[in-house]
A and B are shown apart, each in its own frame.
Chain A
């Protein structure tokens, strides 16, 4: 992909950035969303007579009108949280299952909707999935999940989730990686395509994922298993190697589908470095780390462009 400058991308980029001030009515809409998901928040808003919302600088009469409603209406759809959690758990399938395996409590995951991670993401108009990832990361220490394989699985599933949204935003006209070209000198640059990134995880992480997948498939055959004391638990979950690690390239296709493939560590490092724009000299320097000849560097650059992993941008004087 070759872009004649980055003005087109900047022109259509209207996604609200952190720090952007939304109009009062939209701030109020986001408060409503938070109330629909979180009965504890509803209680705080009502019992404080709206003072809970003071930091948002909403007009007083708007807050008064909000809390003049029967507070029970906010929880009329009592499965709202469950449906949203189901969708999040589909994307963080194994990491969320590992949380349940090691805590035995659905409430640990459900508490996401009462957490600052959720509330902040709604109020700032951000995706819920990265907020859920950050919430899951916060559980590592709180629930001593460090040695369970959970952080490593989360790293992979979180990378896939990030890649999906980066691709999605780019298709909508907000190419986040192009933000990094702002203020750069005119010239030719190489940059990862949207959604291209790498992760490094212990080399038996996929085996752990595979064991958990088998367990989830088998337990899905009898949903009422949750009622049984003798419900089977996952078997043969490996302890992750702390020494031997593999690198994976995450990339998506035009339809937005994301996949990952094993790559050499040096190649993964090249990808990581190209998440920020590199001019031709900088790219050559990175490629030399792969012990490539001049001709091979040329071929590799061409191949990375053809494979849709890197793109060449031309930033022009405006």
Chain B
């Protein structure tokens, strides 16, 4: 699937995240009017329960590009994959004109998909879990025809003996899929394991990376004094995250999309990062993101 699809995937450039029903501070259409050329597509996150909202439909109706990010399938759990999810997810991705389907790997809910069951757990980093995940990814690709990009998720802890990059390399190889590498989540993992930001990238099949995410985050502390990095998508991006992005972008020959997850910030606070991202990952001539 990967090699037959990768050359025909469109180049999207720098995008912004959006999610069903949330009222972001950054409205992409308004942002584009004030700062033309900085945002080239929207990555829309939703689930089959909520579907597509008016905001994203207006965006695509005006001829802009979008990608679909699922928030409701446990890639690690074959029981979670059912015909309804497949057909409705495929329909949403087609409606958006998304060139692929992406989303965090692990668990989006415990038990069957239901209200109140939602959470986001990273996969257990073991070869067996990677095999299960690859099986599910492969099945989604076969049934929907979309290339799937599993994403490395954030967490306060990681269980299993594998490095997260080795885990996703195995998933990509076994499933013959692409990868969405979230630089902020990777920085959190490296810090949790006491490793340097770029550790493990030397052996990672970077040609599988089709999309990257970048986001802000920072120190947080619970009432009982536990300190952790909160992946809260604040505007300011940590230097470790920049070092991963700036190391990888020139090396990822198949990178098509770079999403800045920042829609809940004041627009002004994100402009400098968008400008820097557009320098790091410039749009290619003849591949304008806006088709209108």
Chain A residues in the interface with B (C-beta under 8 A): 12, 14-16, 23-26, 28-30, 32-33, 36, 62, 65-66, 69-70, 72-73, 75-76, 78, 80, 83-84, 87-88, 91, 121-122, 125-129, 165, 168-169, 171-174
**Additional A-B contacts beyond A25-B160, A78-B223 (5; CB < 8 A):** A12-B82, A32-B121, A78-B222, A128-B116, A168-B114
Main secondary structure of the interface of A (DSSP, over half): helix
CA distance A35 to B52 in the complex (A): 33
B residues in contact with A127, CB < 8 Å: 111-112, 114, 117
A73 and B82 contacting across the interface, CB-CB below 8 Å: no
Contact across chains for A73 and B156 when beta carbons are under 8 A apart = yes
In the assembled complex, the Cα of A75 lies from the Cα of B156 at a distance in Å of 11
- Can you spell out 28 A-B residue pairs with CB atoms less than 8 angstroms apart? A12-B82, A12-B83, A14-B79, A25-B123, A25-B124, A25-B128, A25-B129, A25-B160, A33-B110, A36-B119, A62-B159, A72-B225, A73-B156, A73-B228, A76-B222, A76-B226, A76-B228, A78-B223, A125-B79, A125-B111, A125-B112, A127-B112, A128-B114, A128-B116, A128-B117, A169-B112, A171-B84, A172-B83
* Residue from the list A15, A33, A91 in contact with B79, Cβ < 8 A: A15
The residue in chain B whose Cβ has the minimal distance to the Cβ of A69 is B157
Bitwise, B99-134 to A at CB < 8 A (1) or not (0) is: 000000001001110111101010110101100100
What 1/0 mask marks residues of chain B from 76 to 105 whose CB sits below 8 Å from any chain A CB? 111101111100000000000000000000
B211-270 interface (Cβ within 8 A of A): 222-226, 228
Q: Residues of B within 8 Å of A, CB-based: how many?
A: 35
Question: How far is B123's CA from A126's CA once the two chains are assembled, in angstroms?
Answer: 20
Q: Are A30 and B110 in contact (CB under 8 A)?
A: yes
Chain A residues near B156 (CB-CB < 8 A): 73, 76
Residues of B within 8 A of A172 (CB): 82-85
Contacts of A171 in B (CB 8 A): 84
Within residues 169 to 197 of chain B, which ones have a CB less than 8 A from any CB in chain A?
Answer: none
CA distance A62 to B79 in the complex (A): 23
Judging by beta carbons under 8 Å apart, are B111 and A128 in contact? yes
Asked whether A87 lies within 8 Å of B82 as measured between CB atoms, the reply is no
For residue B78, give the distance in angstroms from its CB to the closest CB of chain A: 7
Q: Which residues of B contact A75 (CB under 8 A)?
A: 222, 224
Say whether B82 contacts A14, CB under 8 Å.
Answer: yes
Q: A33-B119, A33-B121 are in contact. Are A70 and B84 (CB under 8 A)?
A: no
Select one of B82, B129, B222 contacting A72, CB under 8 A: B222
B residues less than 8 Å from A26 (CB atoms): 76-77, 124, 132
Q: Give the nearest-CB partner of A256 in chain B.
A: B49
Min C-beta distance of B70 to chain A, whole Å: 16
B226 to chain A, nearest CB (A): 4
